[in-house]
Amino acid sequence: MAQLPILHRDDDLVVVHKPSGLSVHRGWDRDRDVALQRIRNQIGRRVFPVHRLDRATSGVLLFALHPQAARQLQESFAEQRVVKRYLLLVRGIPPESGVIDHPVPKSLGGERVPAVTEFRRLDTFERYALLEAKPRSGRLHQIRRHFKHLSHPLIGDVRYGKGDQNRLFRQRFDLHRLALHAWRLEVPHPTTGEAMEFVAEVPADLAVPWRLMGLSWGCPPTGPQLPSQLRTEPAAPTAMAKDRRTPPPGRPGRGD
């Protein structure tokens, strides 16, 4: 069982870099290998989850080290004092920035609840765009659902995306995962209240394909070695007009 890279640890919390394909805790899939158990074994003490990442999403994941810290961190999330920034690759070219205000189911098959996501466009590659998204709320699959709603599904998304696009990126760029990475997390420390920011660089299973596309946001300064079969020059980005079929982003709104 591979150890998780630790981004930060003190007496109250531990922050790790979760890989794609690993669940945070045992849920619907009843996985035996989960991030919570890995870090518990790794540091030799109990940890308390305070937020979650989808199994297919990589990036910054925070655990409290005692119940009081867990309660304080959960309050910070509930009171919108935490800023989460994600990097994602989508089909099509969305507007340069926008706010998606669109309710999503609270759980699979559950009632719809308010959900708001801010986004900005960072770069483009052919008919695809690299975005930064800041969800104001933490609904199930919120980012993935919101960009499907805009007709800009995430690449590699087997639930809300397009199978032909996912196959294209597997064949062309060896991308075998969801193109969604929890890049930065800004949170007040549960004891001192100090503003803290944690950053997880884009892992190799995303960084290698993205560099082939000429994209580098969030990637390590020195890129990982490319597989020999993929050592080709990336295609030059093509200037694109905005897709007229794209619905405008939702109206600005309040909410987590």
Catalytic residues: 54
Q: How far apart are the first and last CA of the chain?
A: 35
What are the angstrom distances between the C-alpha of 81 and each of 48, 73, 134, 189, 206? 19, 9, 13, 11, 29
Beta strands in 10-115 (DSSP E): 13-18, 48-49, 58-64, 83-91, 97-101, 104-105, 112-113
Match 């609904």 to its residue by tokens. Answer: 139
Cα angle: 185, vertex 83, 201; to 5 degrees: 30
Give dist(CA 200, CA 124) in Å, integer: 22
Q: What gap in Å lies between CA 147 and CA 161, rounded to an integer? A: 9
The number of C-alpha atoms within 13 Å of 102 and in the hemisphere containing its C-beta is 19
CA pair distance 184, 147, nearest whole angstrom: 20
Give 3: exposed, middle or buried? Use CB within 10 Å, 0-12, 13-18, 19+.
Answer: exposed
CA distance 157 to 163: 8
